[in-house]
Amino acid sequence: MNAEVNQALHQAAPLLELQQVTKIYGKGDAEMHALAGIDLSIYPGEFVAVMGPSGSGKSTCMNILGCLDTPTSGTYLFQGVDVGALNRNQRALLRRHYLGFVFQGFNLLNRTSALENVELPLIYRGSPTQQRRTMAREALRKVGLSDRANHTPGELSGGQQQRVAIARAIVTGPSLLLADEPTGNLDSARSIEIMDLLTAFNRDQGITVVMVTHEPEMAAYARRIVHFKDGLIEADHVSENALTC
């Protein structure tokens, strides 16, 4: 990434910070340290790829960032707010208003249309019917699926289903998009299409993207790559050849 762009990003306050975060599962002989005390700051507008072998802690870290799990110890700050001090309902509100999620398995409702799938986050927000319908159609337009609004997932290809999932993730205008192996179920051509979409939302709308991936070709789209190993961050470096630049 261009050095001037990198410097500009880091002049802002971090969007999120993990400070000496640990996560321990089990007790006694069964105790397992999924995270062993990590420090991580991610700034507004960054595109970060998270890599590491199975069991390295990357998925646990993503779950904590998405408020789907809580640390055993340490601090998680989101826009300066201590997430650990929030109750369950407050964390749900944080997810609803600030976070978007994209998963490897798409996680669409099979019997509802693409448009209705994209509307779901807005329903949880309590948005009026006409407003959410308009916003959902606009989100589908942004991912190139205006003509598939009334199709169910079973009538869509895998790449189209992931586009619907991305539309659902960005329809609320999140500050942070968390993508867990978003190309894991797709062929190479569809994977490139999905990465181009994520790159565009990061570049053009300023959505911060944190993406878990096993694939170096997909990580190459990120401006920054964080490597996990044994519950710790092994490496954290800026990609000078990022395909987003």
Q: Residue 234 is part of a domain; what is its CATH number?
A: 3.40.50.300
Instruction: Report yes or no on 55 lying in a domain.
Output: yes
Token pair of 111 as six digits: 């019997």
Instruction: Report yes or no on 3 lying in a domain.
Output: no
What value does the mean pLDDT take over residues 92-119? 94
Question: How far, in Å, CA of 212 to CA of 58, rounded?
Answer: 7
- Domain span at residue 106 reads 45-68+87-238
Instruction: Report yes or no on 217 lying in a domain.
Output: yes
Choice between 152 and 29, residue whose per-residue pLDDT is larger: 152
Query: Residue 150: in which H helix or E strand, if any?
Result: none
CA distances to 49, 123, 131, 165 from 178, rounded to whole Å, are 10, 20, 25, 12
The number of folded domains in the chain is 1
> Which residues make beta-bridge pairs with 185?
none
- Residue 161: strand, helix, or coil: helix
Instruction: Report yes or no on 125 lying in a domain.
Output: yes
In percent, how much of the chain has pLDDT > 90?
Answer: 88
- pTM for this model (two decimals): 0.90
